[in-house]
Amino acid sequence: MTDIEYLAPKTLDEAVRAFHAGAGNARILAGGTDLLVQMRAGTVRPGLIVDIKKIAEMTTVEETAGGGFRIGAAVSGAVLRDHPKLKKVWPGVVEAANLIGSTQIQGRATAGGNLCNGSPAGDSVPAMIAAGAVVTIQGPTGRRELPVEAVPKGPGRLNLSPGEIVVSFTLPARPKGSSDAYLRMIPRTEMDIAVVGCGVSLTIDNGTCTAARVGLGAIAPTVLLVEAAAKALIGSKVVGSKLDDAALAKAAAACSAACRPIDDKRGTIAYRTKVAGVLLTRTATIAADRAGRK
């Protein structure tokens, strides 16, 4: 029976050093809403737990010089919800982070943990992908950036090197007429893991959709950036904040086509594939409605 060590470093360098030295046997603790569950189930047995909540850069939300946001990877969903400006500019990202679990879970769960848990069903990930978030990573060899969709490799696996820690998410500045939305399908009204999750971010300029990004979750080994769906929306006509039906239908079909889901206790292949299209339509509609008011 090994003893587990717990460390709460105050600097990122200290955290990276300790995490790297843990040589694959260390785990990062942010909100703990995945880690502790896995430890209890015996599926994860860390030798070292590195608690990163004392590191300023990871626990703050800042506006960047260009008008975007830098969200520390260890900021909880509840803190994001309470941020006065973030939900006005990125309502989809904020609502996605605040659909994880329950009020209690949102008091702890973080976008960083949600991403690095590597579940294709993590709620915040499709919204982050749709937002075009860029992830800042710190490791033993230094700092680098990756688009958020490049981080997950497969269920429970990441494209990170040993010792690397996700530090923050940077959301770009928003052109006028932009907004986002996130919807998921769950059987109950709360608490469930997403059967399908869809994030859409749009820009509408002068009656035309000029930019779009679509993130789709729980339908493949990783959350997907569905470029075909975005392409179907870009250039389409928007009348009074309503997207063109044909464009929506094409985008929805692209989402269903992108699905490579599994049958499991939460949903079947057929069901997920169908729902992906339905959710795209609804999510994009909400995003467009919000964008039209910006």
Partner 1 sequence: MAKLHVSTTINGEPQEFLCDAEQSMLEILRGPLGLTGSKEGCGTGDCGACTINVNGRIVCSCLMLAAEAEGQKIATIEGMADGETLHPLQQKFLEQAALQCGICTPGVLMAAKSLLERNPDPSEHEVRFWLAGNLCRCTGYDKIVRAVMDTAADMRGAAR
Partner 2 sequence: MSTANDNKWIGQRTLRPDGADKVTGRAAYAADTTMPGMIWGKVLRSPHPHAKIKSINTKKAEAYPGVKAVITAKDIVDFPLDKSVMLGIQDMRWMARNVMAREKALFAGHPVAAVAATTEKIAAEACKLIEVEYEVLPFVIDVEEAMKPGAPVLHDFVKFEGKPSNIAGTLEHKLGDVDAGFAKADVVIERSFRTQPVHQGYIEPHACLVSVSDGKATIWSSSQGQFMVRAMCSYLTGIAQNDIRAIPAEIGGGFGGKTIIYLEPLALVLAKKTGRPVKMIMTRTEVFHASGPTSGSYSKIKIGATKDGMLVAARGTFCLQAGAFPGSPIRGAAGCAFAPYNIPNVHSDGFDVVSNRSKVAAYRAPGAPIGAYGVECVMDEIAEALKMDPLELRLKNAARMGTKAAHGPVFPRIGFVETIEEAGKHAHYKTPLPKAKDGKLYGRGVASGFWFNAGGESSAQVNVNEDGTVVVITGHPDIGGSRASTANITAEILGIDYKKVSVLIGDTSVIGFSNLTGGSRVTYASAMVVTQSTEHVIGILRERAAKIWKIDPDAVVWESGEARPAGDNAGKFEPLSLGQIAAQATATGGPIGAGKQLNTTGAEGGFATHLCDVEVDPALGIVRVLRYTAFQDVGRAIHPGYVEGQMQGGAAQGIGWALSEEYIFDKNGKLDNPSFLDYRMPVCSDLPMLDSVIIEVPNPKHPQGVRGVGEVPLVPPLGAVSNAIYNALGRRFYSLPMSPPKVLATLDLPQAAE
CB of 36 to partner 1, least distance (A): 5
According to the binding rule CB under 8 A, does residue 231 interact with partner 2? Answer: no
Q: What are phi and psi of 269, to 5 degrees?
A: -60, -50
CB of 94 to partner 2, least distance (A): 19
Q: Within a 10 A sphere around the Cβ of 255, how many other Cβ atoms? A: 29
Q: How far apart are the first and last CA of the chain?
A: 58
Residues 14-53 close enough to bind partner 2 by CB under 8 A: 41
Distance CA 44, CA 32 (A): 12
Site string for partner 2, 235-274 (x = CB under 8 A): ------------------------------xxxx-xx--x
Cβ atoms of 124 and 149 within 8 Å: the answer is no
Selected range binding partner 1 among 103-111, 123-131, 197-205, 215-223, rule: CB under 8 A: 103-111
State which of residues 66, 84, 187, 240 lies at the interface with partner 2 (CB under 8 A).
187
d(CA 191, CA 175): 34
Inter-residue contact 149 to 25 (CB < 8 Å): no
Among 104, 141, 161, 268, binds partner 1 (CB under 8 A): 104
For residues 88 and 101, give the distance between their C-alpha atoms in angstroms, rounded to a whole number: 22
- 293 in contact with partner 1 (CB under 8 A): no
Q: Strand (E) positions, the chain?
A: 5-7, 26-29, 48-51, 61-63, 69-72, 134-139, 142-147, 152-154, 157-158, 165-171, 178-185, 196-205, 208-217, 224-225, 238-239, 242-243
Nearer to partner 2, 17 or 274 (CB): 274
Judged by CB under 8 A, the residue of 220, 275, 284, 287 near partner 2 is 275
Is there binding between residue 191 and partner 1 (CB under 8 A)? yes
β partners of residue 134 = 147, 170
Q: Which does 1 bind (CB under 5 to 8 A by kind): partner 1, partner 2, none?
A: partner 2
Indicate the residue among 105 and 134 with the shorter CB distance to partner 1. Answer: 105
Pairing of strands 5-7, 48-51: parallel
Partner whose binding site includes residue 215, from partner 2, partner 1, none (CB under 5 to 8 Å by kind): none
Applying CB under 8 A, the site for partner 1 has a residue count of 28
Asked if residue 234 lies in contact with residue 253, where contact means CB atoms within 8 angstroms, the answer is no
Chain residues binding partner 1 by CB under 8 A are 3-6, 8, 29, 31-33, 36-37, 39-40, 49, 51, 53, 76, 78, 101-105, 107-108, 189-191
Chain residues binding partner 2 by CB under 8 A are 1, 41, 185, 187-193, 195, 265-268, 270-271, 274-275, 278
